[in-house]
Structure 1
Amino acid sequence: MTLGMMATDAEQRIDFEAMRSYKLKRIQAQLAEKDLGAMLCFDPDNVRYATSTAIGEWSRDKYVRWCVVPREGEPYLFELGSAQEVKKEICPWIPSERIFPGGGWLRGANTKGATSMALMGTVARIKAVLEASKVAEMAIGIDTVDLYMLDALKSAGLKIVNGWDVMWDARLIKCPQELTIIETAASLADGCFEYIADKIRPGVRESEIVAEIYGWLLKQGCDRVTGVNCVSGPRSNPHPHDFSDRMIRPGELVFIDIMAHYLGYGTCYYRTFAATRTTQKQKDLYKKAHEWLQASIEVVRPGITTADIANQWPTAQELGYPDELAAAGLCVGHGIGVSIHEKPFITRLFSAEPMPIEAGMHFALETFCGEGVDGARIEQQIIVTETGHKVITQWPCDELMVCSAR
């Protein structure tokens, strides 16, 4: 079930300790399977997954905080400046002796000498915790970093390898606590569509809709908004995957994607509306998109593959595109966890290399149908259960909804 937004002594809500333990075991199982000594994470979503810590979005592209997850034992967190002292107080699940100062070389934006010194200090601290964990001689996985740091790590004699699949595979199957948070995040987006439907009307700009959504989500307790797409009228076909300052006009289709995070876990959730009135052509386009979506949802259960889902969708040629690469992103599925796009990735483009569907997966399925100046986009989030699936996005989408009708 979805839960209340506040902590209480009167209900057992999220068992965060169980969730943290599960995630660490998932990472370390992947390290053992792939014969790596440790995982060095700079990606903010991987750092959150591994350590249950976060800092402001401003830090996302600056490499000022990271973590090391050894093959055995607790993670090490390298936190920015004074924030390390804060983490020692508010994150007791990480022993204080495993929290170190982070900082950074700011992707080389500093002076050459300062950048070199920062890199040397960073590598020395990383190597020290790897040696303490007795894995410094083993291959070390890394997710993402700039070339300055990559060169510095290799120059220090560390065997750095691509570790992305360690984290993607660890994050693939969600525990019950993660799934509860994910469904609660979806319930927030449900509420946001109720709020925003009354504001979709002629004379309102796409950017105004986006601003209203951001404000509502943050007020309701979301801790991050990856983005909001709002597309109207002739901008809806081809799908531009963004928003603009265009003003909505009567009789136009408007589709909106809410990508918000609650307790770190994301949503990706499209709905299409008509402003004031709708035509039979628009209804027909919407019906096609909905039928394609429902067909792909109905086959979801453990034991099938991503190809079984993708094969329910029209080909690129049926959508009016020359090949699947040109049509990428129109009929698609993607895992959602602490990132908006995770494994499994579901598309006709890659259906020749299918991935098995397993219980505990969570992903979005989305379809698009467009013709002329009209495009319709619908998306549902799915949890794979032991016996089938559960759709957790509840804002109605069986019929094209008309807003601001007079």
Structure 2
Amino acid sequence: MDQNTSKHADPEATRYTRNALTRTSIGKTVSDHGAAQMDMVALRAYRLGRVQEQLRKNDIPAILLADPIMSRYATGIRNMQPWSMHANNRCALVPAEGKAILFEYGGSEHLGDNLETVEISLPSKGRYNLDSKTYEGGKSWAEYIMSFLPPQKTGKRRLAVDSRVEYFTGLHLQNAGIDVIAGGRMLSDAQMIKSADEIQCIMASLSIAEVALYRIKQAIEPGKSEIDLWSILEATNVEFGGEYIDTRLLSSGHRTNPWYQEATDRIVRPRELVALDTDMIGPFGYDADVSRTFLCPSGRPSGEQRTLYRTAYDQLHHNLELIRAGASFREMSEKAYDLPERFKEQMMPMTWHGVGLCGQGPTIVGRGHHEKYGEEGVLEEGMVLSCESYCGEVGGSEGVKLEQQVVVTKDGYQLLSDFPFEEELLGREF
């Protein structure tokens, strides 16, 4: 039942159903991933507990979350999420013990009514224009937030904030007597280890993304535009109850090199490569982040196209085999695939990264990049990673992007994405 038809429905309800994906020809259905076994109450309790564990570990009584993704992670609230990413109305106060307090866009407070993670949902006073010219308004807002802070025994009152709490908001909190602490690392650490229910949500998103990949592959033909093809991903996600797409990374022909070019009205031509990265937020808010590269018919791929594809494929699978619980980020970087010299200038420094409600930490870089960009840490069982590869020469005509999503296990990894690779581009005869 939809949350719009019953006030007793789960606030994260979705029209995603057990048999929704039986049309895919690649053999994956919802039942394969056990989607019917998802326990959303347990999922929310686990996520709130992870945040509160970090607060207690750092001796911080509460954290103020202005990022709608972080609010959703900690409480389960989903309220106009893409709009909230560029508006300053909504926030959530999460204590180290007990339930959260939501400050919601006026008139939408009822969306938190059935969330067992929430103590109360109140209309937000808003943080618009809390700059140096509106000091009194900002002071009033800070005092309002302070009135909900848990009591502290001694010393200055401490409050962590996420990265979306902007400068002047933080300044007003400080002026009101709050010791404001950056909470980004705590939130990143909290989200790194996924519960079984989170894994099921991720698998549901991947199932839909792979239906879209199948449809896109079937639709590629001369005369289609990049936008035509990208829209299939968007439409498929919406069709099965998904939410939004983080990027528009689909390119063709010469626009596949270099990478990071979003879809345009460019028309695809015969025997060109078409590459895309899904970056798809599915029906439970979790990210399906996989990449594939296809060949537009008709005709056989060129030798250079096969070289690009085989190199990216080898890079991807070499780096996948480095994933195991206990592996250090530094060790992974040092052992990462060594691209041929002509492709190194355009290699992607970020080789592995965490995935949850969005792309997230940890970020683990490839060979030669650890000293400049790397962070220290080790892989832990239950982390979900995307492993990325890209192969394209500076000045080259095309490039190939591939990516897989996995969960780290004690013995290595479990592949979560299993859309097939292109046998013809690998140079294998049928």
| Global fold match (TM > 0.5) | yes
Unaligned segments of structure 1, at least 5 residues: 322-326
User: Which of 63, 72, 76 does residue 88 from structure 2 map onto?
Assistant: 63
What is the distance in 2 between the residues matched to 1:11 and 1:364?
21
Superposition pairs of residues 61-100 of structure 1, within 5 angstroms: 61-88=86-113, 90-95=114-119, 98-100=120-122
SS in 1 for 2:279: strand
What is the distance in 2 between the residues matched to 1:192 and 1:396?
13
Q: TM-score, normalised by structure 1?
A: 0.88
What is the distance in 1 between the residues matched to 2:35 and 2:210?
23
Q: Map Cα deviations across residues 361-397 of structure 1 (whole Å, 9 max, x no partner).
A: 0010010111311101100001012322111111101
SS in 2 for 1:168: helix
2:102 corresponds to which letter in structure 1?
L
**Which residue number corresponds to residue 25 of structure 2?**
none
SS in 1 for 2:295: strand
**Which residue number corresponds to residue 123 of structure 1?**
142
User: Which of 261, 271, 284 does residue 292 from structure 2 map onto?
Assistant: 271
What is the distance in 2 between the residues matched to 1:125 and 1:107?
16
What is the distance in 1 between the residues matched to 2:201 and 2:97?
27
Superposition pairs of residues 161-310 of structure 1, within 5 angstroms: 161-262=181-282, 263-276=284-297, 277=299, 278-310=301-333
Deviates more, 1:348-357 or 1:33-42: 348-357
Q: Map Cα deviations across residues 15-70 of structure 1 (whole Å, 9 max, x no partner).
A: 11211221122111111222222111111111000110011111212121111111
**In angstroms, what is the RMSD of aligned CA positions?**
2.7
1:68 corresponds to which letter in structure 2?
L
**Which residue number corresponds to residue 418 of structure 2?**
394
Deviates more, 1:305-314 or 1:205-214: 305-314
**Which residue number corresponds to residue 140 of structure 1?**
159
What is the percent sequence identity of the aligned residues?
Answer: 27
2:85 corresponds to which letter in structure 1?
R
1:6 and 2:17 correspond: yes
SS in 2 for 1:217: helix
Q: Map Cα deviations across residues 145-190 of structure 1 (whole Å, 9 max, x no partner).
A: 2222121111111000111011000001111111111111111111
| Count of residue correspondences | 388
The structure-2 alpha-carbon separation of the partners of 1:229 and 1:155, relative to structure 1 and needing over 3 Å to count, comes to: same
8 Å contact 1:330–1:366 — kept in the other structure?
Answer: no
What is the distance in 1 between the residues matched to 2:67 and 2:340?
33
Deviates more, 1:169-178 or 1:227-236: 227-236
8 Å contact 1:313–1:331 — kept in the other structure?
Answer: no
SS in 2 for 1:319: helix
8 Å contact 1:130–1:136 — kept in the other structure?
Answer: no
**Which residue number corresponds to residue 324 of structure 1?**
none
Q: Map Cα deviations across residues 182-231 of structure 1 (whole Å, 9 max, x no partner).
A: 11111111111111111111111112212222112111111222123111
What is the distance in 2 between the residues matched to 1:218 and 1:136?
50
2:219 corresponds to which letter in structure 1?
K
**Which residue number corresponds to residue 71 of structure 2?**
47
2:109 corresponds to which letter in structure 1?
Q
1:342 and 2:361 correspond: yes
SS in 2 for 1:227: coil
The structure-2 alpha-carbon separation of the partners of 1:135 and 1:93, relative to structure 1 and needing over 3 Å to count, comes to: farther
